[in-house]
Amino acid sequence: MPTHRVALIFGGQSTEHEISIISARAIANHIDTEAYELYPIYVGHDGAWFKGETAQKVLDLDMPAMLANTSADTIRERLREISFSDPRNRFLFDFSEEGIDVALPIIHGSTGEDGKIQGLLDMFSVPYTGCGVHASAMTMDKETTKICAEHAGLHIAPYTTIRKLRYQQDPQQVVSVILEEFTLPFFVKPASQGSSIGITKVHRPEELAAALEKAFMVDTKVLIEKTIEGREIEVAVLGNDSPVASVPGEVEPGGDFYDFTDKYINGKASLHIPARLPEEVLQKVSTEALKAYRALECRGMSRVDFFIEHATGKIILNEINTVPGFTGISMYPMMMDASGIDFSQLIDRLLQLALEKTLS
């Protein structure tokens, strides 16, 4: 008989909504049903919360096939149809009445890994997996992550930030300053988006304005970042006060860089676990991942991403993802599996860490 009721919270208002559904379905398929009773909660694009049969219908969708073969508008319409099929399943916040013991929020991007849902769960005294409010908010902002990481002694890529208002006031002046400061090619990145949403690698001066416009569509702060010519390495970190790092993995992009399409749709990227590096370098990357994890005060789990620069061999922090993907092709669970913790064990460990946080 299950000893804990787990609220699996998925969907959300970010551009990674559909990926969250895929992650949630994978978790639902691997959770130990003898130990945990699953209670799905779906958060729609509009921020409405749904429970019961409505949430289960969304969870049962074959989202990978829909993403590959269906337009975004059609997917959203199907989700709306399900969401409003039974108003009785609209969820109002009373976790205690629902008998929730612990929450597993798997909402990627804004509202899910920026501290908002974590703060909500804290207000209701519900234990939850992953990082708390402080670490979630810091790691969601790429600039804040860089500041904290550099202070802790990690290497970061040279960058600058541009605010949307400044750009709107004088676009040409901003473009000119960036082109003077950075050697092509360089990256334009929204400060607070995941899955490479809104990112452009700028190769020619005439591409910069469009890249900025694209990034400002999803954020009010944008990073301009030097391109690091090197290998893309990722590490899964798990734990609270005594975290452990997985064997590092390597991403070999199928295109110019590892973007949303490469990750979730065309599958052209090659993934290598362990990364194709000497043993001493693998160990050093894992050590740097733990250093970054602690510097940003992470708990529960995070995926820490690096570049290893070809010219210098430097291990350069790229970003920290506090709600990494849990899809069938996601690096976090695969790296943990390669380190001896399979998917079901990983879910169990995350839930136990959440309960441990409450007791500590």
Output the known binding site for ATP: 179-234
Q: Which of 187, 219, 220 is nearest to 201 (CA)?
A: 187
d(CA 45, CA 232): 32
**Using CA atoms, how far apart are residues 298 and 137, in angstroms rounded to an integer?**
11
Strand 36-43 relative to strand 315-321, pairing:
unpaired
Structure tokens at 303: 């995926």
Q: Tell me the C-alpha distance between 168 and 152, whole Å.
A: 34
Q: Could you tell me which residues are annotated as the binding site?
A: 179-234, 305, 319, 321
Q: Which residues pair with 232 in a beta bridge?
A: 251, 307
Length of the chain: 360
Spell out the residues 6+ positions from residue 7 whose beta carbon is closer than 8 angstroms to its own: 39, 41, 95, 98, 100, 102, 103, 104, 126
Q: Which of 217, 235, 234, 215 is nearest to 225 (CA)?
A: 215
Ramachandran quadrant class, 15 (left: phi over 0; alpha: psi -120 to 50; beta: rest): alpha
Amino acid identity of residue 219, one-letter, is D
- Binding-site positions for Mg(2+) read 305, 319, 321
